[in-house]
Chains A and B, each alone.
Chain A
Amino acid sequence: MKSVQSSRRIMTGNEAVATGVKLSRVKVIAAYPITPQTTIAEKIAEMVANGELDSKFIEVESEHSAMSMITASEITGVRSYTASSSHGILYMHEALHWAAGMRLPLVMSVVNRALGPPWNIWGEQTDTFNQRDTGWLQMYCESNQEALDSIMLGYKIGENKKVLLPVMNMLDAFTLSHTSEPVEVRDLKTAADYLGDLDLDFKIDFKNPIGYGSLISPDGPYMEMKKDMRDSMYNAVGIIKNEISNFNDQFDAELPGLTENFMMEDADYALITAGAISSTAKYTVRKLRKRGQKVGLIRLYFYRPFPGEEILKAVKGLKGLGVVERNLSYGQRGPTFEDVVSSLYGRVDVPVRNYVVGLGGRDIRVTDYELMFENLIEGNNDMEWVNVGVK
């Protein structure tokens, strides 16, 4: 086994993201700072300033402008990028639909942060679960290594001509963004060979001008274009699988599939999580396994396209499944719960529960996961909120 030091460096999640942007040889970056994303923008600006990254860094006056700016630069055929968080993502919501509808394979990093009021800078995933219907692929990273690798993988998948959709890469506020841990920095030359240059068939050509996003009558191809977007999102599933396998070969990496099954082989009870909160869940699963409890974890690496078939396979034979959400929907259960139940409906008979955890950065502890497993196994009350009202 390689020594931990051999090819790794200690870096924060935000530094890992900036390094992924450098390895992807992004040409245009437009960003507006917001805690806890700020150090991504700062690190990239520093790389551009000192010549480490040959790129144009555009300071904009808002997140809406950042997304509009990189939509415009990408359509000239140059790889483009931004990063944001929380209210910044909400502010660019309209522009997210434009970027996806124009079939531009952008990558954006989002440091998941709570939404005010009350004002809160800490971790929660509601900001991006709110964006699930924008036509962007969504990836939730568990570690700083994944945060680095997912930038390159995101461009590779999005730029595939059978996909041509933008990709959102998530990392949890502070839990990854400001946490330092060992990360293997991929080789620049290998990365350049892996990713190549952006090749858009429909980029702006001044000698052959065409219209983009013009008015289309109800009989025109509007509905057909939307169907094509949705088909492409579904088709992305197979491409994602191939590209992850390709990435792991190229870089000797350890990315999971669309989902990661952790100790699921003979599990009776399992939880589903997304993002860095999955790590503490794994720690808990190991602990309970040592006590002889047959528990496991399914981690969502991709949330859009939703890996319903992967989950269906993993949950067969379970006596209970708990969907853990670090986000909130009002007036219905959580979005992941809805997606899971809809994927399993009529195909497998597993009781499914829903747990809401860690809003506004509330720490998610081993004891919280133990409580969820206990609730799942004993099944004698419909606990939904974890660690609420006890402070």
Chain B
Amino acid sequence: MYEIRFHGRGGQGAVTASKILATAAFMESKWVTSFPFFGSERRGAPVTAFTRVDDRRIELRSQIYEPDAVIVLDKSLMSIVNVTDGLKNDGVIVVNGIDGNMKEAGRYKVGYVDATSIALRNGLGDPSHPVVNTAILGAFAKISNLVSLQSIKNATTELVPSRKKENVNAIQEAYEETEMN
């Protein structure tokens, strides 16, 4: 079983990202679950979402405490939430941000991408509310071999209600621009 934890803020699309990733894995014939943990439901509040992927029906329904990967949609969260809590050694972390100075980076495979700029130049959200959820999945596809880039694009096309082409472009650009440690 492969477990992914998403950290974002309300409005950035972390919950949708967890569902797109699950759908992409499902398209590759995996069993999946994805679920959010909502605190108070408001724009800007920290949001956690989870995705599990396995070859068999998934029974475990608790939150994810020892993830294989962590995806951070908003770097400012890293000063208030311990995003690497429980992350397995050699686990994957993808951060929306380009100044790669994470102190524990040595233990993990880290990918950095400026998902905010990519989202904005593709018309996804606006400068005060960029929607970075699809771009960050492009970065995840680059650093992890859980699912293919194409499946993430296909799942995105199926799930996003509008701007399908722009979202797919953002995924491709993020895939190309992701820097790894």
Residues of A at under 8 Å CB distance from B? 3-5, 10, 35, 121, 174-175, 178-182, 276-277, 279-280, 282-283, 286, 363-366
Contacts and interface: CB of A to CB of B under 8 A. Distances in A.
A4 B19 contact: no
Nearest to B15: A178
Ranked nearest first, the 3 interchain pairs of A and B with the lowest CB-CB distance are: A179-B35, A283-B59, A279-B59
Contact of A181 (B32, B38, B41, B62): B32
A174 B32 contact: no
A46 B36 CA distance: 23
Interface string B20-38: 0011001101111111111
Contacts of A121: 38
Contact of A174 (B22, B29, B35): B35
Contacts of B65: 365
A10 B32 contact: yes
A179 B60 contact: no
Nearest to A9: B26
B63 A182 contact: no
A187 to B, nearest CB: 21
22 contacts: A3-B29, A4-B31, A5-B26, A10-B19, A10-B23, A35-B41, A174-B36, A174-B37, A175-B35, A175-B61, A178-B35, A178-B36, A179-B35, A181-B31, A181-B32, A276-B61, A279-B59, A280-B59, A283-B59, A286-B59, A363-B63, A365-B63
Contacts of A364: 62
Contacts of A178: 35-36, 38
Contacts of A180: 19, 22-23, 32-35
B36 A5 contact: no
A3 B56 CA distance: 11
Please classify the interface of chain A as helix (H, G, I), strand (E, B), loop, or mixed, using the class held by over half of its residues: loop
B27 A179 contact: no
Interface residues of B, number: 23
Contacts of A366: 60, 62
Contacts of B180: none
B49 to A, nearest CB: 10
A304 to B, nearest CB: 24
Contacts of A283: 59-60
A364 B62 CA distance: 6
Contacts, number: 64
A283 B27 CA distance: 25
A4 B29 contact: yes
B45 interface: no
Contacts of B37: 174
A279 B61 contact: yes
B60 A4 contact: no
B36 A182 contact: no
A363 B33 CA distance: 16
Nearest to A285: B59
A363 B48 CA distance: 14
Contacts of A3: 29
A355 B4 CA distance: 30
Contacts of A181: 31-34, 58
Contacts of A286: 59
A198 B135 CA distance: 50
A358 to B, nearest CB: 10
A294 B167 CA distance: 51
Given A3-B29, A5-B26, A280-B62, 9 more contacts: A4-B29, A178-B35, A180-B19, A180-B23, A180-B32, A280-B59, A283-B59, A286-B59, A366-B62
A209 B107 CA distance: 78
Most buried by A among B38, B41, B63: B38
A110 to B, nearest CB: 18
A276 B59 CA distance: 9
B29 A5 contact: yes
A180 B25 CA distance: 13
Contacts of A279: 59-61
A211 to B, nearest CB: 47
B61 A280 contact: yes
A366 B29 CA distance: 27
A279 B54 CA distance: 15
A4 B33 CA distance: 13
A10 B154 CA distance: 14
B147 to A, nearest CB: 14
